[in-house]
Protein backbone atom coordinates (compact mmCIF):
# COMPACT_ATOMS: atom_id res chain seq x y z
CA UNK A 1 0.00 0.00 0.00
CA UNK A 2 1.46 3.35 -1.08
CA UNK A 3 1.25 6.26 1.36
CA UNK A 4 1.48 10.00 0.63
CA UNK A 5 2.26 12.54 3.35
CA UNK A 6 0.85 15.80 1.97
CA UNK A 7 1.87 18.93 3.88
CA UNK A 8 -0.41 21.83 2.85
CA UNK A 9 0.79 24.70 5.04
CA UNK A 10 -0.35 27.19 6.21
CA UNK A 11 2.04 29.88 5.09
CA UNK A 12 4.43 31.28 7.72
CA UNK A 13 4.46 28.16 9.85
CA UNK A 14 8.04 27.14 9.18
CA UNK A 15 7.26 25.65 5.77
CA UNK A 16 10.43 26.95 4.09
CA UNK A 17 12.63 25.51 6.83
CA UNK A 18 10.80 22.19 6.65
CA UNK A 19 11.05 21.99 2.87
CA UNK A 20 14.73 22.87 2.71
CA UNK A 21 15.56 20.42 5.49
CA UNK A 22 13.64 17.63 3.75
CA UNK A 23 15.38 18.47 0.47
CA UNK A 24 18.84 18.34 2.04
CA UNK A 25 17.99 15.17 3.93
CA UNK A 26 16.38 13.46 0.92
CA UNK A 27 19.01 10.75 0.53
CA UNK A 28 18.81 9.76 4.19
CA UNK A 29 15.02 9.77 3.99
CA UNK A 30 15.16 7.52 0.95
CA UNK A 31 17.34 5.04 2.82
CA UNK A 32 14.65 4.96 5.53
CA UNK A 33 11.85 4.34 3.02
CA UNK A 34 10.62 7.90 2.41
CA UNK A 35 10.76 9.61 -0.97
CA UNK A 36 10.73 13.41 -0.82
CA UNK A 37 9.23 15.02 -3.92
CA UNK A 38 9.64 18.71 -4.70
CA UNK A 39 9.00 21.05 -7.60
CA UNK A 40 11.31 23.84 -6.49
CA UNK A 41 15.06 23.89 -5.87
CA UNK A 42 14.40 24.29 -2.15
CA UNK A 43 11.78 21.56 -1.91
CA UNK A 44 8.67 23.72 -2.21
CA UNK A 45 5.90 22.31 -4.42
CA UNK A 46 3.63 25.36 -4.21
CA UNK A 47 4.14 25.85 -7.94
CA UNK A 48 1.30 23.36 -8.35
CA UNK A 49 -1.15 26.16 -7.50
CA UNK A 50 -1.59 29.24 -9.69
CA UNK A 51 -2.53 32.52 -8.00
CA UNK A 52 -4.43 35.12 -10.04
CA UNK A 53 -5.77 38.54 -9.20
CA UNK A 54 -8.62 39.99 -11.24
CA UNK A 55 -9.83 43.31 -9.99
CA UNK A 56 -10.09 43.05 -6.23
CA UNK A 57 -10.56 39.27 -6.08
CA UNK A 58 -7.84 36.67 -5.80
CA UNK A 59 -8.32 33.26 -7.42
CA UNK A 60 -6.47 29.97 -7.09
CA UNK A 61 -6.22 27.13 -9.56
CA UNK A 62 -4.49 23.77 -9.47
CA UNK A 63 -2.29 23.16 -12.51
CA UNK A 64 -0.82 19.95 -13.93
CA UNK A 65 2.39 20.03 -11.94
CA UNK A 66 1.10 18.09 -8.92
CA UNK A 67 -0.04 15.25 -11.17
CA UNK A 68 3.34 15.23 -12.95
CA UNK A 69 5.21 15.25 -9.64
CA UNK A 70 3.27 12.36 -8.15
CA UNK A 71 3.51 10.41 -11.39
CA UNK A 72 7.31 10.55 -11.07
CA UNK A 73 7.20 8.87 -7.66
CA UNK A 74 8.41 5.30 -7.32
CA UNK A 75 8.54 4.83 -3.54
CA UNK A 76 6.01 3.24 -1.22
CA UNK A 77 6.01 6.31 1.05
CA UNK A 78 6.29 9.82 -0.41
CA UNK A 79 6.34 13.32 1.09
CA UNK A 80 5.15 16.50 -0.66
CA UNK A 81 5.11 19.98 0.88
CA UNK A 82 3.09 22.69 -0.86
CA UNK A 83 1.73 25.44 1.37
CA UNK A 84 -0.13 27.05 -1.56
CA UNK A 85 -2.60 24.16 -1.30
CA UNK A 86 -4.03 25.92 1.75
CA UNK A 87 -5.24 28.68 -0.59
CA UNK A 88 -7.81 26.30 -2.07
CA UNK A 89 -11.28 26.99 -0.64
CA UNK A 90 -13.66 25.47 -3.17
CA UNK A 91 -14.70 21.86 -2.79
CA UNK A 92 -14.17 21.08 -6.47
CA UNK A 93 -10.52 22.14 -6.21
CA UNK A 94 -9.88 20.02 -3.13
CA UNK A 95 -11.65 17.09 -4.80
CA UNK A 96 -9.28 17.55 -7.72
CA UNK A 97 -6.31 17.28 -5.34
CA UNK A 98 -7.82 14.11 -3.88
CA UNK A 99 -8.38 12.59 -7.32
CA UNK A 100 -4.81 13.26 -8.40
CA UNK A 101 -3.35 11.87 -5.18
CA UNK A 102 -5.62 8.82 -5.27
CA UNK A 103 -4.42 7.97 -8.75
CA UNK A 104 -1.01 7.12 -7.31
CA UNK A 105 -1.46 6.48 -3.58
CA UNK A 106 -3.77 4.32 -1.50
CA UNK A 107 -3.37 6.20 1.79
CA UNK A 108 -3.19 10.02 1.85
CA UNK A 109 -2.30 11.79 5.09
CA UNK A 110 -2.80 15.54 5.07
CA UNK A 111 -0.64 17.56 7.49
CA UNK A 112 -1.70 21.10 8.44
CA UNK A 113 -0.09 23.65 10.75
CA UNK A 114 -2.17 26.62 11.90
CA UNK A 115 -0.84 29.86 13.35
CA UNK A 116 -2.92 32.42 15.20
CA UNK A 117 -4.30 34.77 12.57
CA UNK A 118 -2.74 38.01 13.82
CA UNK A 119 0.74 36.48 14.12
CA UNK A 120 0.45 34.83 10.72
CA UNK A 121 -0.79 38.00 9.02
CA UNK A 122 2.08 40.18 10.28
CA UNK A 123 4.63 37.60 9.18
CA UNK A 124 2.97 37.06 5.79
CA UNK A 125 2.75 40.79 5.12
CA UNK A 126 6.42 41.13 5.99
CA UNK A 127 7.13 38.56 3.32
CA UNK A 128 5.30 40.59 0.69
CA UNK A 129 7.57 43.56 1.54
CA UNK A 130 10.60 41.58 0.41
CA UNK A 131 9.59 42.04 -3.22
CA UNK A 132 9.80 45.06 -5.48
CA UNK A 133 6.81 44.54 -7.79
CA UNK A 134 3.10 44.90 -7.21
CA UNK A 135 1.08 41.66 -7.41
CA UNK A 136 4.12 39.55 -8.20
CA UNK A 137 4.04 37.36 -5.09
CA UNK A 138 1.00 35.56 -3.74
CA UNK A 139 1.32 37.51 -0.49
CA UNK A 140 1.20 40.79 -2.43
CA UNK A 141 -1.93 39.69 -4.28
CA UNK A 142 -3.72 38.46 -1.18
CA UNK A 143 -2.71 40.97 1.50
CA UNK A 144 -2.20 44.11 -0.54
CA UNK A 145 -0.01 47.00 0.56
CA UNK A 146 -2.22 49.21 2.70
CA UNK A 147 -0.70 51.00 5.67
CA UNK A 148 -0.23 49.04 8.88
CA UNK A 149 0.96 45.57 9.85
CA UNK A 150 -2.40 43.95 9.11
CA UNK A 151 -4.18 43.71 5.75
CA UNK A 152 -7.53 45.34 5.20
CA UNK A 153 -10.38 42.94 5.91
CA UNK A 154 -12.02 42.04 2.61
CA UNK A 155 -13.53 38.88 1.13
CA UNK A 156 -10.10 37.50 0.21
CA UNK A 157 -8.87 37.88 3.79
CA UNK A 158 -12.07 36.48 5.30
CA UNK A 159 -11.81 33.36 3.15
CA UNK A 160 -8.11 32.80 3.68
CA UNK A 161 -8.19 33.09 7.48
CA UNK A 162 -11.36 31.09 8.01
CA UNK A 163 -9.41 28.02 9.08
CA UNK A 164 -12.45 26.07 10.18
CA UNK A 165 -14.27 26.38 6.85
CA UNK A 166 -11.23 25.13 4.97
CA UNK A 167 -10.62 22.21 7.30
CA UNK A 168 -14.25 21.20 6.94
CA UNK A 169 -13.78 20.93 3.18
CA UNK A 170 -10.57 18.91 3.50
CA UNK A 171 -12.31 16.62 6.00
CA UNK A 172 -15.31 16.05 3.74
CA UNK A 173 -13.09 15.17 0.80
CA UNK A 174 -10.24 13.26 2.49
CA UNK A 175 -11.93 12.12 5.71
CA UNK A 176 -11.20 13.35 9.21
CA UNK A 177 -8.93 10.41 9.99
CA UNK A 178 -6.64 11.54 7.18
CA UNK A 179 -6.05 14.98 8.71
CA UNK A 180 -3.30 15.81 11.19
CA UNK A 181 -3.72 19.35 12.54
CA UNK A 182 -1.21 21.13 14.73
CA UNK A 183 -1.12 24.58 16.28
CA UNK A 184 2.05 26.39 15.26
CA UNK A 185 3.58 27.38 18.59
CA UNK A 186 6.50 26.05 20.59
CA UNK A 187 4.19 24.67 23.27
CA UNK A 188 1.91 22.90 20.78
CA UNK A 189 4.58 21.30 18.58
CA UNK A 190 6.24 18.08 19.60
CA UNK A 191 9.85 18.94 20.34
CA UNK A 192 8.98 22.63 20.19
CA UNK A 193 9.52 23.13 16.45
CA UNK A 194 8.07 22.02 13.11
CA UNK A 195 10.99 19.77 12.10
CA UNK A 196 10.85 17.76 15.31
CA UNK A 197 7.07 17.61 15.11
CA UNK A 198 7.04 16.49 11.49
CA UNK A 199 9.70 13.88 12.21
CA UNK A 200 7.61 12.32 14.98
CA UNK A 201 4.57 12.38 12.70
CA UNK A 202 6.44 10.26 10.14
CA UNK A 203 7.28 7.82 12.91
CA UNK A 204 10.26 5.59 13.64
CA UNK A 205 13.61 7.02 14.64
CA UNK A 206 13.58 9.87 12.14
CA UNK A 207 15.45 12.97 13.24
CA UNK A 208 15.59 15.52 10.43
CA UNK A 209 18.44 18.01 11.02
CA UNK A 210 17.30 21.55 11.63
CA UNK A 211 17.55 24.09 8.84
CA UNK A 212 16.48 27.62 9.66
CA UNK A 213 15.45 29.98 6.87
CA UNK A 214 15.62 33.62 7.97
CA UNK A 215 13.11 35.74 6.07
CA UNK A 216 12.83 38.58 8.55
CA UNK A 217 12.85 42.22 7.48
CA UNK A 218 13.11 45.43 9.46
CA UNK A 219 10.54 48.14 10.03
CA UNK A 220 11.95 50.51 7.41
CA UNK A 221 11.82 47.96 4.60
CA UNK A 222 8.29 46.99 5.60
CA UNK A 223 6.87 50.51 5.76
CA UNK A 224 8.66 52.02 2.80
CA UNK A 225 8.23 49.06 0.44
CA UNK A 226 4.50 48.78 1.13
CA UNK A 227 4.04 52.52 0.69
CA UNK A 228 5.98 52.62 -2.59
CA UNK A 229 4.05 49.64 -3.96
CA UNK A 230 0.76 51.18 -2.89
CA UNK A 231 1.71 54.37 -4.73
CA UNK A 232 2.60 52.43 -7.87
CA UNK A 233 6.32 53.16 -7.92
CA UNK A 234 8.09 51.10 -10.58
CA UNK A 235 9.95 47.92 -9.66
CA UNK A 236 13.24 49.28 -11.00
CA UNK A 237 12.98 52.34 -8.74
CA UNK A 238 12.18 50.31 -5.62
CA UNK A 239 15.19 48.11 -6.32
CA UNK A 240 17.40 51.20 -6.18
CA UNK A 241 16.09 51.98 -2.69
CA UNK A 242 16.25 48.43 -1.29
CA UNK A 243 19.93 48.52 -0.20
CA UNK A 244 19.28 51.51 2.06
CA UNK A 245 16.23 49.79 3.57
CA UNK A 246 18.11 46.61 4.47
CA UNK A 247 20.30 48.25 7.08
CA UNK A 248 17.44 48.91 9.49
CA UNK A 249 16.88 46.07 11.99
CA UNK A 250 14.11 47.73 14.00
CA UNK A 251 11.36 45.20 14.67
CA UNK A 252 7.96 46.20 13.36
CA UNK A 253 5.22 45.84 15.97
CA UNK A 254 1.55 46.71 15.62
CA UNK A 255 -0.37 47.83 18.67
CA UNK A 256 -1.98 45.33 21.02
CA UNK A 257 -5.45 46.65 20.27
CA UNK A 258 -4.92 46.31 16.51
CA UNK A 259 -3.76 42.70 16.96
CA UNK A 260 -6.75 41.83 19.11
CA UNK A 261 -9.14 43.50 16.67
CA UNK A 262 -7.72 41.52 13.75
CA UNK A 263 -7.78 38.22 15.63
CA UNK A 264 -11.34 38.73 16.82
CA UNK A 265 -12.53 39.12 13.23
CA UNK A 266 -12.27 35.32 13.15
CA UNK A 267 -13.76 34.60 16.57
CA UNK A 268 -16.68 32.51 15.34
CA UNK A 269 -14.48 30.46 13.02
CA UNK A 270 -11.94 29.88 15.79
CA UNK A 271 -14.63 28.80 18.24
CA UNK A 272 -15.71 26.13 15.76
CA UNK A 273 -12.08 25.28 15.10
CA UNK A 274 -11.63 24.81 18.84
CA UNK A 275 -14.69 22.55 19.13
CA UNK A 276 -13.80 20.31 16.18
CA UNK A 277 -10.06 20.28 15.57
CA UNK A 278 -7.74 22.31 17.77
CA UNK A 279 -8.81 22.41 21.40
CA UNK A 280 -7.37 25.13 23.61
CA UNK A 281 -8.31 26.45 27.03
CA UNK A 282 -9.09 29.87 25.56
CA UNK A 283 -11.99 28.38 23.60
CA UNK A 284 -10.55 30.07 20.51
CA UNK A 285 -8.15 27.32 19.36
CA UNK A 286 -5.12 29.50 20.14
CA UNK A 287 -3.42 31.20 23.07
CA UNK A 288 -5.22 34.49 23.67
CA UNK A 289 -2.30 36.25 25.35
CA UNK A 290 -1.41 39.43 23.43
CA UNK A 291 1.13 40.82 25.87
CA UNK A 292 3.96 40.49 23.33
CA UNK A 293 2.47 43.47 21.49
CA UNK A 294 3.15 47.01 22.73
CA UNK A 295 0.32 49.31 23.76
CA UNK A 296 1.41 51.69 21.02
CA UNK A 297 2.58 50.20 17.74
CA UNK A 298 5.22 51.41 15.30
CA UNK A 299 3.63 50.07 12.10
CA UNK A 300 2.64 53.44 10.63
CA UNK A 301 4.78 55.72 8.54
CA UNK A 302 5.33 59.03 10.36
CA UNK A 303 6.85 62.41 9.50
CA UNK A 304 10.03 61.61 11.42
CA UNK A 305 10.49 58.54 9.24
CA UNK A 306 10.17 60.61 6.09
CA UNK A 307 12.61 63.21 7.43
CA UNK A 308 15.18 60.46 7.91
CA UNK A 309 14.50 58.49 4.74
CA UNK A 310 13.72 61.13 2.08
CA UNK A 311 17.39 62.11 1.55
CA UNK A 312 18.00 58.58 0.29
CA UNK A 313 15.59 59.23 -2.58
CA UNK A 314 18.08 61.73 -3.93
CA UNK A 315 21.19 59.60 -3.43
CA UNK A 316 19.71 56.34 -4.76
CA UNK A 317 19.32 57.62 -8.31
CA UNK A 318 15.54 57.30 -8.63
CA UNK A 319 13.81 59.38 -11.28
CA UNK A 320 12.06 62.58 -10.18
CA UNK A 321 12.94 62.21 -6.46
CA UNK A 322 11.32 65.56 -5.63
CA UNK A 323 7.99 64.38 -6.98
CA UNK A 324 8.17 61.13 -5.03
CA UNK A 325 9.09 63.02 -1.87
CA UNK A 326 6.11 65.34 -2.21
CA UNK A 327 3.81 62.39 -2.93
CA UNK A 328 4.94 60.74 0.31
CA UNK A 329 4.41 63.96 2.23
CA UNK A 330 0.90 64.36 0.85
CA UNK A 331 0.15 60.81 1.98
CA UNK A 332 1.19 61.66 5.50
CA UNK A 333 -0.91 64.83 5.51
CA UNK A 334 -3.96 62.90 4.32
CA UNK A 335 -3.40 60.36 7.08
CA UNK A 336 -3.43 63.17 9.66
CA UNK A 337 -6.59 64.67 8.18
CA UNK A 338 -8.28 61.27 8.28
CA UNK A 339 -7.91 61.33 12.05
CA UNK A 340 -10.47 64.19 12.16
CA UNK A 341 -8.41 66.78 13.96
CA UNK A 342 -10.29 68.81 16.56
CA UNK A 343 -8.38 71.97 15.63
CA UNK A 344 -10.23 73.23 12.54
CA UNK A 345 -7.60 75.85 11.77
CA UNK A 346 -4.84 73.23 11.80
CA UNK A 347 -6.88 70.99 9.51
CA UNK A 348 -7.29 73.85 7.04
CA UNK A 349 -3.55 74.55 7.14
CA UNK A 350 -2.80 70.92 6.40
CA UNK A 351 -5.25 70.91 3.50
CA UNK A 352 -3.54 73.99 2.10
CA UNK A 353 -0.13 72.39 2.50
CA UNK A 354 -1.31 69.29 0.64
CA UNK A 355 -2.60 71.51 -2.19
CA UNK A 356 0.77 73.24 -2.42
CA UNK A 357 2.60 69.94 -2.66
CA UNK A 358 0.13 68.58 -5.21
CA UNK A 359 1.63 70.76 -7.94
CA UNK A 360 4.99 69.00 -7.63
CA UNK A 361 3.94 65.53 -6.46
CA UNK A 362 4.76 63.00 -9.16
CA UNK A 363 5.44 59.28 -9.60
CA UNK A 364 7.84 58.76 -12.50
CA UNK A 365 6.60 56.28 -15.07
CA UNK A 366 9.67 54.15 -15.64
CA UNK A 367 9.56 51.97 -18.73
CA UNK A 368 10.68 48.38 -18.58
CA UNK A 369 13.77 47.58 -20.65
CA UNK A 370 12.93 45.96 -23.99
CA UNK A 371 14.49 42.65 -22.92
CA UNK A 372 12.25 42.48 -19.84
CA UNK A 373 9.17 42.90 -22.01
CA UNK A 374 10.18 39.88 -24.08
CA UNK A 375 10.42 37.63 -21.02
CA UNK A 376 7.24 36.15 -19.61
CA UNK A 377 6.69 37.18 -16.04
CA UNK A 378 5.62 34.53 -13.59
CA UNK A 379 2.07 34.88 -12.35
CA UNK A 380 2.63 33.47 -8.92
CA UNK A 381 5.29 33.50 -6.25
CA UNK A 382 5.62 33.05 -2.56
DSSP-assigned states of every residue in 142-157: HH---SSSS----HHH
Q: Tell me, yes or no, whether 238 and 183 share the same domain.
A: no
Q: Tell me, yes or no, whether 45 and 88 share the same domain.
A: yes
Phi, psi torsion values for 42, nearest 5 degrees: -105, 15
Q: Tell me, yes or no, whether 198 and 332 share the same domain.
A: no
Assigned domain for 282 exists: no
d(CA 122, CA 216): 11
Q: Residue 208: pLDDT band by 50, 70, 90 thresholds?
A: confident
* H-helix or E-strand spanning residue 110: strand 107-114
DSSP state of 40: S
Nearest to 154 by CA among 58, 84, 31: 58
Assigned domain for 294 exists: no
Assigned domain for 145 exists: no
- Reply yes or no on whether the pLDDT at 213 is more than 80: no
- Quick one: average pLDDT of 196-208? 81
Q: Tell me, yes or no, whether 167 and 246 share the same domain.
A: no
Terminus-to-terminus CA distance in the chain, angstroms? Answer: 34
Q: Residue 120: pLDDT band by 50, 70, 90 thresholds?
A: very high
Please indicate whether residue 214 or residue 46 has the higher confidence score (pLDDT): 46
CATH number at residue 80: 3.40.50
CA angle 51, 55, 59 (to 5 degrees): 25
Q: What is the pLDDT of residues 56-83, one digit of tens each?
A: 999 999 999 999 999 999 999 999 999 9
Q: Tell me, yes or no, whether 98 and 43 share the same domain.
A: yes
Q: Structural domain tally of the chain?
A: 2
Assigned domain for 375 exists: no
Residue 128, helix vs strand vs coil: helix
- Reply yes or no on whether the pLDDT at 328 is more than 90: yes
- Quick one: average pLDDT of 341-348? 88
Query: Do 111 and 10 form a contact (C-beta atoms < 8 A)?
Result: no
Assigned domain for 268 exists: no
Q: Tell me, yes or no, whether 34 and 161 share the same domain.
A: yes
At 209 the pLDDT is: 76
Assigned domain for 106 exists: yes
Q: Residue 210: pLDDT band by 50, 70, 90 thresholds?
A: confident
Assigned domain for 264 exists: no
pTM of this prediction?
A: 0.92
Q: Tell me, yes or no, whether 177 and 306 share the same domain.
A: no
Assigned domain for 293 exists: no
Q: Tell me, yes or no, whether 230 and 186 share the same domain.
A: no
Q: Tell me, yes or no, whether 51 and 181 share the same domain.
A: yes
Q: Tell me, yes or no, whether 8 and 43 share the same domain.
A: yes
Q: What is the pLDDT of residues 240-290, one digit of tens each?
A: 999 999 888 899 999 999 999 999 999 999 999 999 999 999 999 999 999
Range of the domain at 356: 226-252+302-365
Q: Tell me, yes or no, whether 190 and 234 share the same domain.
A: no
- Reply yes or no on whether the pLDDT at 25 is more than 70: yes
Q: Tell me, yes or no, whether 195 and 238 share the same domain.
A: no
Q: Cis peptide before 188, with omega less than 30 degrees from 0? A: no
Amino acid sequence: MRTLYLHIGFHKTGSSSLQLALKRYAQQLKAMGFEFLGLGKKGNSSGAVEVFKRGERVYFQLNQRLDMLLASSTGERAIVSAEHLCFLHLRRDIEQVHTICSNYFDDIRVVIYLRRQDLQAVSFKKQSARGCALNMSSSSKLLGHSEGAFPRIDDNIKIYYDYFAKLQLWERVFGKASLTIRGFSSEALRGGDILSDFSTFLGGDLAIPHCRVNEGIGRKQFLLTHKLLELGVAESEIKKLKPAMAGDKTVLKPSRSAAVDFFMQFKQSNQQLNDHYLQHGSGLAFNDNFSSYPVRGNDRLCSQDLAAWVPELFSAGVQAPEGLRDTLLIGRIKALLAEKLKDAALAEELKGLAQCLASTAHIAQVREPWYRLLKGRKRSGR
